[in-house]
Structure 1
Amino acid sequence: MAEKIDVEKVLSDPDFAKYPDWIKTHLRTYLESGGEEGHLWPSGIKQGEGPTHIPTLLLTTVGRKSGKQRILPLLYGKVGADHIIIGSMGGAPKHPQWFLNLQANPDAEIQVGTDHYKVRARIAEGEEREKIWSHMLTIFPVYGDYQKKTERRIPVVVLEKQA
Structure 2
Amino acid sequence: MTDNPQSTAPWLPPRWVIRTAWAVHRGIYRVTGGRFALQRAKPQKWGTMRVTVTGRKSGRERPVILAYIEDGPNLSTLAMNGWGEGDPAWWLNLKANPDAHVVWPGGERLVRARVAEGAERERLWALWRTTNKDLDAFASNRTTPTEVVILEPRAISAA
- TM-score bracket, normalised by the shorter chain, equals 0.7 to 0.9
Q: Figure out how many residues of one structure are paired with residues of the other and give that number.
A: 135
- Quick one: distance in 2 between partners of 1:54 and 1:37? 15
The answer to whether 1:130 aligns with 2:129 is: no
Letter matched to residue 86 of structure 2: K
Q: 152-161 vs 111-120, which deviates more?
A: 111-120
1:73 counterpart residue number: 65
Letter matched to residue 160 of structure 1: E
Q: Shift of residue 53 of structure 1?
A: 7.0
The answer to whether 1:97 aligns with 2:89 is: yes
2:150 counterpart residue number: 158
Q: Shift of residue 114 of structure 1?
A: 6.8
- Quick one: distance in 1 between partners of 2:93 and 2:37? 24
Larger Rg: 2
Q: Is the 8 A contact 1:90 1:146 kept in 2?
A: no
Secondary structure of 1:83's aligned partner = strand
Distance 1:142 1:75, change over 3 A: farther
**Residue by residue, what CA displacement relative to the aligned partner does 1:52-74 show, whole Å, maximum 9, x if unpaired?**
97410011101101111111101
Q: Is the 8 A contact 1:88 1:146 kept in 2?
A: no
Q: Shift of residue 116 of structure 1?
A: 1.6
1:38 counterpart residue number: 37
Q: Is the 8 A contact 1:36 1:113 kept in 2?
A: no
Structure 2 unaligned regions, length at least 5: 1-17
**Residue by residue, what CA displacement relative to the aligned partner does 1:69-117 show, whole Å, maximum 9, x if unpaired?**
1111011001111000100113322111111111100000111027221
- Quick one: distance in 2 between partners of 1:31 and 1:143? 29
What's the TM-score, normalizing by structure 2? 0.77
**Residue by residue, what CA displacement relative to the aligned partner does 1:27-76 show, whole Å, maximum 9, x if unpaired?**
122233333211139xxxxxxxxxx9741001110110111111110110
- Quick one: distance in 2 between partners of 1:109 and 1:98? 12
Identical-residue share of aligned pairs (%)? 32
What's the TM-score, normalizing by structure 1? 0.75
Distance 1:25 1:36, change over 3 A: same
Q: 4+ residue stretches of structure 1 with deviation over 4 A?
A: none
Secondary structure of 2:150's aligned partner = strand
Secondary structure of 2:144's aligned partner = coil
Structure 1 unaligned regions, length at least 5: 1-18, 42-51
Of Structure 1 and Structure 2, which has the larger fraction of its residues in strand? 1
